[in-house]
Chains A and B, each alone.
Chain A
Amino acid sequence: MVLEFKDLYVSVEGNRILKGINLKIMSGETHAIMGPNGTGKSTLAQVCMGHPKYKVESGDILLDGESIIDLSVDERSRRGIFLGMQNPIEVPGVTNFDFIKSAIQKRMRKDEHLRIGKFILKYESASQDLDMGKGLAHRYLNQGFSGGEKKRNEILQMKMLNPKFAFLDEIDSGLDVDALKLVGEHVTKQKSADLGLILITHYQRLLDYIEPDFVHIMINGQIVKTGNTELITKIDREGYDWVKTELGIDDEDDKPYSLGNCPTKSLV
């Protein structure tokens, strides 16, 4: 399968965030999208999932050649798009188990029945792999979860739902080194010829565990550079300014008006 962004312009409350995104992801590929804060990386994932806040001004998102931008969020999910979120929502009163079970049942054909025993085994083994602890199934969805548990719960859902294209939005934030390793290894284990993975991250450290095939740098709502893992090393060492200089990007327009400079900042 192929997921394709075509000359995509997206705005939020009148502010244009994405300014002409062109990106093609094939099943089996892993893409990393990197870039400074506030450049539209998360927007790309959210708009692909169909968040109502984001408005597609022009361009298209195609899943196997078919536009998905008019589809509802749940329809996109059922077609195989997945978004592991930066800030998973807490839903009191709904157990983690029931939630995932409902989500899976929604994916089944009318004549299919969920085989509950098989489902429980899969759930238990997935939560064990992710070191989620035994009580997880009966805890309320994300409620009282630590930052790391929330992220692992996103990966658990990804594993259970078997998506075709999965965005993982800053799945590394809030994880300590051990949890990061665990999550990274687990995502890597899920890599397959049927899954297209899109990792959104600031830092190299996640990519130590999940090796991407392509690395894209996003600045000011555009993908300005695409390369391989060497790009990551360079960013980690030198930041993003060299990219801006190299490509002659001037983002002065977007900077706030400021009266004078902070002296310590100039010293550093």
Chain B
Amino acid sequence: MSEKKDFDFKKDYKYGFKTKTKSIRETKRGLSESVVREISMIKEEPKWMLEVRLDALKTFYEMENPGWGPDLTSIDFNDIIYYIKPSNKVEKDWKDVPEEIKDTFNKLGIPEAEQKYLSGVTTQFESEAVYHSTIKELNDLGVIFLDTDSALKEYPELFKEYFTKAVPYNDNKYAALNTAVWSGGSFIYVPKGVEIKKPLQSYFRINSERMGQFERTMIIVEDNSTLNYVEGCTAPIYSNSSLHAAVVEIYVKSNAKCRYSTVQNWSTNINNLVTKRSIVEDYGHMEWIDGNIGSGINMKYPSCILKGDYSKGTTITIAFAGKNQYQDTGAKMIHIGKNTTSKIVSKSIATKGGKVNYRGLVSQEGSAENAKSTIECDTILVDRDSTSDTIPTNIVKNFKGQIEHEATVSKVSDEELFYLMSRGLTEDEAKEMIVMGFIEPFARELPMEYAVELNQLIKLEMTDSIG
């Protein structure tokens, strides 16, 4: 136990470091029409993009916070810097990346990871991608893997065709905010009939106090193609409130397959309000592997719109709420096509007074004949101070649909702890083992290094020294 008390979170936590960076350009603190115009100007965007941004800003002002879930009234939109540009150009080569920035990446272990697993890396430092490498393999296949800003410049028509088509800016207040001030993110286009065997990965990170991050990710997987995309984020520790409001739009075409995996680990002062949605065509399959370890308030419900006949949606999600954390997560499956199927597996863990909710929607529309859905929500409460609610909404609007819903809530019992401890594990280790076992169905879906990282994160979160 004494070992753990000596653990200095700020000093010892692997991701809890900051690198001093001089930003070449940043916008004034706060949100206004002129800030939005300035962002668009710095980026030398086409006029239509500025117009969309301004419309979205107007919508943002008009819309209210969600009427459910955590209280978001404490977010001060005028206390956030919406855009910081760390360097003027997008890097192509690792050796051209500024030393200071490299230092941060080294601490995150990106170069090693790159060698082992990555087919290509987009690393977002502050608001914009500064490092980008796409290996030859991908280029040869005709795959586009760019930061979103570059994609707008290089492929304006393709970009315009899909931008805001899965998540319109009036979808919710934070989608509107993202559309108004978005910067960075990944853009992936997989042409017809291309199967990318290795996962694509990208790391995101906030590194400036009170700085919001508003990345926009767009993924298009054309007919008969396969993509496995992994996004990772870790954040340093801050004392001031911060906001992460991203939008992810994914288009899965006929008979295509897309898997999007992420483990978010924002520090607990960050409100993570992310809109993720995919549109799936005939025989397509979308899989969300969605891990939520960090952030103070987290609201995230990855969605699949199963538009095509025989299309399929899968969401496997975990949410871990420790001290001062409120995880309100889940999944949405909207069945429109005939014979569509969906599966949601949700694992929630609450410890040290954390609150974790599963909030889900499964809707089988009138046209979705023979749709089938299964939902499995399991929650484990590690102690008595922690709480959880399961809030499912299941709707069937035709006579041939089928929904199966199973939910369990369990507590870590004295008997379980006794058994594991009787073999020599400490109480903390025993709890950790039970929790790790509980999330195993999620962890096994992750690439090896991510599973290892997740393991370490949970270990850190489960020890007494954190929080």
Contact = CB atoms under 8 A, between A and B. Distances in A.
B287 to A, nearest CB: 20
A42 to B, nearest CB: 13
A89 B419 contact: yes
A82 B228 CA distance: 47
B418 A74 contact: no
A102 interface: yes
Q: Which of A82, A85, A91 is most buried by chain B, counting CB atoms within 10 A of its CB?
A: A91
Contact of B421 (A72, A99, A140): A72
B425 interface: yes
Contacts of B436: 93-94
B415 interface: yes
Q: Which of A50, A83, A93 has the most CB of B within 10 A?
A: A93
Given A52-B414, A102-B433, A92 B424 contact: no
Contacts of B416: 89, 91
B426 A103 contact: no
A143 to B, nearest CB: 9
A106 interface: yes
Contacts of B418: 49, 51-52, 73
A233 to B, nearest CB: 33
B434 interface: yes
A99 B424 contact: no
Interface in A55-113: 72-74, 76-78, 82-83, 85, 88-89, 91-94, 99-100, 102-103, 106-107
The residue in A53, A73, A77, A88 that gathers the most chain B C-beta atoms within 10 A of its C-beta is A73
A85 B437 CA distance: 21
B423 A161 contact: yes
Contacts of A83: 422
A139 to B, nearest CB: 12
Nearest to A102: B425
Interface in B28-77: none
Contacts of B426: 72, 74, 106
B420 interface: yes
Nearest to A142: B419
Contacts of A157: 423
Contact of A74 (B414, B427, B437, B441): B427
* Chain B residues touching A, majority SS: helix
Nearest to B435: A93
A72 B424 CA distance: 10
Nearest to A105: B424
Contact of A89 (B415, B425, B440): B415
Chain A CB within 10 A, most for which of B417, B421, B439, B440: B421
Nearest to A167: B422
Contact of A94 (B417, B421, B437): B437
Nearest to A98: B433
A78 B423 CA distance: 8
B9 interface: no
Interface string B432-467: 011011111100000000000000000000000000
B419 A88 contact: yes
A27 B408 CA distance: 46
A107 B429 CA distance: 14
A206 to B, nearest CB: 21
A161 B414 CA distance: 22
A93 B438 contact: yes
A102 B414 contact: no
Contacts of B424: 74, 77-78, 103, 106-107, 161
Contacts of A100: 423
A93 B441 contact: yes
Contact of B440 (A73, A76, A85, A93): A93
Contacts of A77: 421-424
Contact of A93 (B422, B427, B437): B437
A110 B440 CA distance: 28
Contacts of B437: 91-94, 140-141
Contact of A49 (B422, B433, B441): B422
B135 to A, nearest CB: 34
A78 B429 CA distance: 14
A42 B375 CA distance: 41
Nearest to A51: B418
A134 to B, nearest CB: 21
A140 B427 CA distance: 20
Contacts of A92: 437-438, 440
A3 B219 CA distance: 66
B423 A99 contact: yes
Nearest to A91: B437
Interface string A146-164: 0000000000010001000
Nearest to B423: A103
Contacts of B441: 93
Residue among B425, B427, B436 with most chain A CB within 10 A: B425
Contacts of B439: 93
B312 to A, nearest CB: 25
- Among A49, A82, A103, chain B packs the most CB atoms within 10 A around the CB of A103
Contacts of A91: 416, 419-420, 433-434, 437
Contacts of A53: 414
11 contacts: A49-B418, A51-B414, A72-B421, A74-B424, A77-B421, A89-B420, A93-B440, A100-B423, A103-B424, A140-B437, A157-B423
Given A89-B420, A94-B433, 16 more contacts: A53-B414, A72-B426, A74-B425, A74-B429, A77-B421, A77-B422, A83-B422, A89-B415, A89-B416, A91-B420, A91-B434, A93-B440, A99-B423, A100-B423, A103-B424, A141-B437
Interface of A: 49-53, 72-74, 76-78, 82-83, 85, 88-89, 91-94, 99-100, 102-103, 106-107, 140-141, 157, 161
